[in-house]
Structure 1
């Protein structure tokens, strides 16, 4: 617990400063964390017996981020890269690398790049909104996710009895899941008012983040369980690796982005 608090004391002000700055400092931070998560993902899959390429995954992630950073009319290089990378990666695994499991290695590589890059670029899109909305909605996605995680942990550790998915994550309970949903709803309602979206819209977003974010957590738990490890890495003492920190946040960013794009326009 002490390690977790120390990391939070250092990380939260730094993260707040990066959100405030936006631009390339924020984009560079998002890129770095996603690339670290891709490396951890590759190591987990290797423990299962396959060999995805973190280099190709990294290239896909950077192409997704480039597509998010630049306006649509100037994003043709990123679009071209994303179109060519899947077939080129398959050729690389099949003929150049001569992998023992070329299709499986290609599939794991493409899945990792798509999952991390497609969802991760939401945080670039959101922060690129004109301020104060860019700062506010980026903070919304992060704060509501942390509130939901804290609520799930607090309620689950105190009153958790019924296992949510014992084969995937033995520590998660239905009580903790409902606690996370409630905490996300309350935090979302409060922040929604502060952002001018209203308590109702904020509460709905908070509920979606609190509930669907659990699916992101469980999806990474499947991989970690098959690999026989508790955490994807030890980058953040007491918190695990970059992939551990992103499992729920990736879904949260996508939820907020879709709301801003489809509902608020």
Structure 2
């Protein structure tokens, strides 16, 4: 099941994508898709709805964040061997955990705003895991039972902020640095989160090509690890790392985003994001 929210900012309507790829409105069924709808019971209730009974949305609307009320935004750094190598950093012995501000969240095509004083704006396509049920001290074997679904995430990063004092959060949490969606794809449609291809283009030029099978720490291990240090709650987001091809890693001269650039990214089965970089006015 592919759940979404569409419409003007702060006025989003709940919807789903049917088997033919058509957008259907859930407005007559529920007022919004919230973290309260991410439990297995609530998802089963939505799954029981016959999409053919729902109104078709014929126009091409703006997509918002796929659910409202997100809690924590947790990120995993250097989780692909090729990305760690391009960054010139040692492979981690355990997941590197940092946080992204919830205020950074934005829709998948809302645009990327260049922060004041930014000079090294970068991209990162990532698989985002959306937690559906409370998880604390869970084993890797039980970890996926706590997942509601998966999304495409772009972990936008301002490298000058991130690297100047080694405080990653500073370079990750700016406004618009968290495009998420277009859909929340539930686990019944993603049999194996380690079997997904991904790509990212800048101005039509392929910059990142990767596959979730190449993660150093797989999704099960990440959820288990994080749950040992903080309780995961419905609506928490875990971005699981990015493959090689970020702007910072381009040799011999790094390439960074500038106003007018267009970033397009996709993960197999999870949809496409497209953002235009905008100057800060």
* TM-score, length basis structure 2: 0.29
Question: Higher Cα Rg: structure 1 or 2?
Answer: 1
* TM-score, length basis structure 1: 0.30
**Structure richer in helix, relative to its length:** 1
